[in-house]
Copies of this chain bind each other. A is one copy, B any other.
């Protein structure tokens, strides 16, 4: 393998409002996500993982940009943009909303926040949802502005997140329900506080509404978390594969419908409202899918996470799909992965072979492993 490589940055790959603070905290690696720098590790993937499981971890996830819909047609546009039924959504609520194009292909899988009847944030994964929404709003002449406001989430995740948040914001925050939020003035730092976050360990996302206050917010969270030994961390590939959380761009793309990646349950495809992709998703539902997401255990030595998709073969050497994300699970002490496989190979226990070659060795040799299909999630 030829990793690690140096990340070259420019103003095209914007630093987050927490950048200075994360550098001071010892960040070592970044990816690029929504045209911004996403911290990826401080010590190592495994060292950074345990505080999320057993303690509490704080993450710069400012790359979760907000696409703000505001104006008389904001609710009309929000409803068009997802197969999820939004008809009963309340102010103060979050909803996970797969978004699809007119052919039913996944555009993104963001979280929608309803701030007012005419004011929404779409908290996006890694694709330019703003361009998608602008194109539709403009073409249809909707009366709505589609902007990227100055909003940058900081996540606090782990079983001790409640204690840290209560010490920062007051006891009320313990009562905040999952996927609900509250606007909060934190000693002059304007926040939206949501019980949410991209782990299965629970916690909060603090949507900072003034990018000039990033270091101040980071430092206050770090200080308040010290009694619980809070650590700087990042979204964990290990934890999220264990828990069955998908990553847009890794585990699904515009080439997938929601039905192939376990997101059918969020699609109210017979709802009264018209949404983009409705006819296409009804057709897929009627015809059925030809491939579907499964887990795969990968045998042998501890693996590093994949840096490209890995081909998967049946035992009679037929290509049957691809591994999309893989990691070594510290809790299971096994190599685990997500894959999209043809329907004939979905049965748990089915043996497969995986080509784990992220880059061909100089002699052209490949790294092939044995594996077996597993049910998802790996840890519930």
Residues of A within 8 A of B (CB): 2-15, 19-20, 23-24, 27-32, 35, 40-41, 101-102, 107, 126-136, 138-140, 237, 247-250, 254, 276, 305-309, 324-325, 359-360, 362
Contact = CB atoms under 8 A, between A and B. Distances in A.
Given A6-B30, A8-B31, 18 more contacts: A5-B27, A7-B31, A8-B29, A8-B30, A10-B31, A10-B237, A11-B308, A11-B325, A13-B31, A13-B307, A35-B126, A101-B131, A102-B138, A128-B131, A130-B254, A134-B135, A136-B139, A138-B276
A28 B4 CA distance: 9
A245 to B, nearest CB: 14
A364 to B, nearest CB: 10
| Oligomer copy total | 2
B324 A11 contact: yes
Contacts of A9: 3, 5, 31, 307
Contacts of A130: 254
B308 A247 contact: no
A311 to B, nearest CB: 12
In the complex, the 4 A-B pairs of residues with the closest C-beta atoms, listed nearest first: A135-B135, A12-B249, A32-B32, A128-B128
B101 A134 contact: yes
19 contacts: A4-B7, A5-B9, A6-B30, A7-B7, A8-B40, A9-B31, A10-B250, A11-B249, A11-B306, A12-B250, A14-B308, A15-B359, A19-B359, A20-B359, A23-B359, A35-B126, A102-B134, A128-B132, A131-B132
A339 B67 CA distance: 27
Nearest to A37: B5
Contact of A5 (B6, B101, B127, B132): B6
A75 B15 CA distance: 39
Contacts of A5: 6-7, 9, 27-30
Contacts of A237: 10
A15 B308 CA distance: 7
Contacts of A129: 131
A23 B2 CA distance: 7
Given A29-B7, A307-B11, A138 B138 contact: no
Given A11-B250, A29-B8, A135 B126 contact: no
A236 to B, nearest CB: 12
A13 B4 CA distance: 14
Nearest to A31: B8
Contact of A31 (B4, B32, B247): B32
Contacts of A248: 12
A10 B305 contact: yes
Nearest to A14: B308
